[in-house]
A and B are shown apart, each in its own frame.
Chain A
Amino acid sequence: MSGADERKVSSLRELSPAIEPARDLWPQIEARINAERSTAAPPRPARARAVPPRWLAAAAVVASVAVGVWIGRSLLPAARPAAQSPISASRANFTDAPTALDVAYVPDPRYQRDRAALMKTLQARLAALPPPARAKVMASLAAIQRAKQDLQNALGKDPGNALLQELLVNTYQDEMRVLTDVHEASDPGRGI
Chain B
Amino acid sequence: MENIIEVAGVTQTFGPRTIYRDVSFTVAAGEIFVILGGSGCGKSTLMRQVVGLLPPSEGSVAVLGQDMYANDSEILAHIGVMYQSGALFGSMTLLENVMLPLEMQTDLPTEARLRIARVKLGLVGLADSADLMPAEISGGMAKRAAIARAMALDPPLLFLDEPSAGLDPITSAGLDQLILDLRKGLGITFVVVTHELASILAIADRCLMLDREAQGVIAEGDPRKLRDDSEQPTVRAFFRRQVLHPA
A interacts with B: no
- B interface residues with partner A (beta carbon < 8 Å): none
